[in-house]
A and B are shown apart, each in its own frame.
Chain A
Amino acid sequence: MERLKVATVWLGGCSGCHMSFLDLDEFLIELAGKIDLVYSPIMDVKEYPKNVDVCLIEGAICNEDNLEILHQVRARTKVLVSFGDCAVTGNVPAIRNQLGLRNDENVLQRAYIDSAQDNPRVPKADGIVPALLKRVLPVHEAVFVEYYLPGCPPPAERIKVLMVQVLGGATPKLEGTQLKFG
């Protein structure tokens, strides 16, 4: 049987979900024998490959780059999993949505103008620094998502449950204490 092609992607989040993935510890060694990790921030592959079986996507959609990447990931992936609370709900990055319609300008003003002693200005360089979106989105507001893996971050045990189900060909389903935010 061909090995499952797995990818992990990291958008507007803190990387905690990826760190929790690494908290699989020695199960990683077992996993290395069962899947092909084809794309991930912890490895060095230049372009998101085609025909990925399962992709865990961490983070909310905060800027134009995030959105562009997400659409490419969706087009090249069979099963997309919203990985962690930021992907599932927007979570902490989406707190800025509460600042109203001009929240993107306000957060930039505070960081780069109000609290700078030298060259206070909002960074702007076309093609280099992506513009912030007016509203931070959870992943499923931008593209279709097959499954949700909640938690901030999802504990390694919960990631393991999902991976074991996926590897066994079962439809992923979380129950009881595994179905929990925060």
Chain B
Amino acid sequence: MSKRIIIDPVTRIEGHAKISIFLDDAGNVSDAVFHVVEFRGFEKFCEGRPYDEMPGITPRICGICPVSHLLASAKAGDAIMAVNIPPAADKLRRLMNLGQMVQSHALSFFHLSAPDFLMGWDTPPAQRNVFGLIASNADLARAGIRLRQFGQEIIEILGGKKIHPAWAVPGGVRNPLTKEARRWIKAWLPEVYTTVSAGLELFKKTLETHQREIKIFGDFPSLFMGLVAPDGTWEHHGGKLRFTDGSGNIVADQLDPQKYYEFIGESVQNSSYLKSPYYLPLGLPNGMYRVGPLARLNICNHMGVPKADAELEHFRSFGRGAVTSSFLYHYARLIEILASLEYIERYLDDADLFSANVRAEAGINSLRGVGVSEAPRGTLFHDYTVDANGLLQKVNLIVATGQNNLAMNRTVAQIAKHYVHGKDIPEPMLNRIEHGIRCYDPCLSCSTHAVGQMPLHVQLIAPDGTVLNELARG
């Protein structure tokens, strides 16, 4: 008699993501599914609109990483115009993307995840959040808040708004950086370097006492995918795609993102609004791949900046060829903050940032354009087909979090297997499963809403619908 455990994190109250765990006859975990239950229909309702409106509309998919949608959308527009944008515009877009990388990763680590490491896994849930962190460790909370603010301020300096700036456009950007803004960013850099060092130190200490978490929080071989530069350096906005396997071997390299549909397929799950992309040549289930910080650090040859490269070396000691534990997403995220700060510092000395030539003008020269950028959570694709007037005929979006969907399912199953035997639902499992999902920092607003700590309600249900056991935590 097989059974099913439903974890309804939001108990039909906040209700946007749920988890099912399936048990076999012996009561052991056989499978798990992460259900995303929110859908807004951007791909359809944008049809018929001019393509150059898209950088204004698509950031509204997600308030956590609006800059990713802004940039991918503008890049799809570049492809439709068939232009090479001015070098200054590319550098300015990169600067904004780095600001976003900092703010989004800081949010994930300090506001959402650090309460687990610092306050303990079994701290009462009412305290285990950023307000609890403010009460228990005000200095660290303030430093984390200010690190996120630093990233947000860079976005505002360039785009006029912290969230949903209308700044990048097909062909380039609206305005360059000012010298005064450069001085201001430079002056703030020493503080944020200190904060990220503290975060790295804290997390490395955490790892010493979290051997079990490293083993069970999504440790399995998979493919990894992301953008790399032509020489294999870490990328976040340009370059081409690389796939590597669970041992670090390159499976495919320098793939043209414009032709993503030749190597990425999308699968639909009956019980989730989140689609599962996979590597087409391998099909399912072998085509499962992970994206985001862990993937980007696995696929690149090096970071290209000294401080982050030194950390990358230590990071790689946690794997053989590839780091396969999703618990180490946190570590990868901190290294990417460090790299972003180093790249920001480097860009500030580039005279191009103040150039007046930031936008190429052109008409419709290609009826299809794909824009690709690395969002904090992974590679983001915007694929637009237009008519001769530039009105959208078809839109396809592949969001970062979807690409981790299969890996998130597998992670939940792995954690559940460790804790569930028979009909008992051990309480410690609840926190751990939440955190297993949180490792991926799923930007669920790209599809749902559960940011941060998910309240949980677990039911163990027999096939006839009888509730065998129930456990709620809140």
Contact = CB atoms under 8 A, between A and B. Distances in A.
Interface of A: 9-20, 22-23, 25-26, 28-29, 32, 37, 41-48, 59, 62-63, 65, 68-69, 72, 91-93, 95-96, 98-99, 103-104, 106-112, 115-121, 123-125, 128-130, 132, 152-153, 155-156
A111 B41 contact: yes
Given A10-B14, A19-B64, A26-B142, A43 B275 contact: no
Contact of A128 (B18, B44, B455): B18
Contacts of A115: 43, 266, 396
Contacts of B46: 95
Nearest to B47: A110
* Chain B interface residue bracket vs A: 35 or more
Interface in B1-35: 6, 11-16, 18, 20, 35
Interface in B272-300: 272-273, 275, 278, 280, 284
Contacts of B359: none
A8 to B, nearest CB: 11
B145 A123 contact: no
A41 B449 contact: yes
Interface in B135-155: 135, 138, 141-142, 145-146, 148-149, 152
Given A44-B474, A63-B38, A153-B164, A116 B275 contact: yes
Interface stretch (B82-90, B121-129, B308-316): B121-129
A20 B162 contact: yes
Given A10-B14, A20-B163, A110 B44 contact: yes
Contacts of B16: 65
Interface stretch (B55-63, B177-185, B204-212, B339-347): B55-63
B45 A95 contact: yes
A45 B455 contact: yes
10 contacts: A10-B449, A14-B62, A41-B14, A42-B130, A44-B455, A62-B40, A107-B43, A111-B44, A123-B268, A123-B269
Interface in B390-432: 396
Contacts of A48: 13-14
A62 B449 CA distance: 13
A107 B271 contact: no
A44 B61 contact: no
A15 B62 contact: yes
A129 B37 contact: yes
Given A25-B145, A46-B474, A117-B265, A15 B161 contact: no
B268 A132 contact: no
Contact of B126 (A44, A95, A104, A152): A44
B38 A123 contact: no
A111 B146 contact: no
Contacts of A42: 111-112, 129-130, 451-453
B129 A118 contact: no
Given A44-B125, A98-B45, A118 B266 contact: yes
Contacts of A130: 15, 37
B15 A69 contact: yes
B389 interface: no
Contacts of A132: 39, 41
Contact of B271 (A47, A92, A95, A125): A125
B303 interface: no
B128 A44 contact: yes
Contacts of A111: 39, 41, 43-44, 275
B266 A117 contact: yes
B267 interface: yes
Nearest to A29: B134
Contacts of A18: 63, 451
A63 B272 CA distance: 14
A69 to B, nearest CB: 6
Given A29-B134, A95-B45, A12 B40 contact: yes
Given A96-B45, A128-B6, 18 more contacts: A10-B451, A13-B445, A20-B162, A28-B130, A32-B135, A43-B125, A45-B455, A46-B457, A62-B39, A104-B41, A107-B40, A110-B44, A116-B275, A117-B265, A117-B267, A128-B18, A132-B41, A152-B164
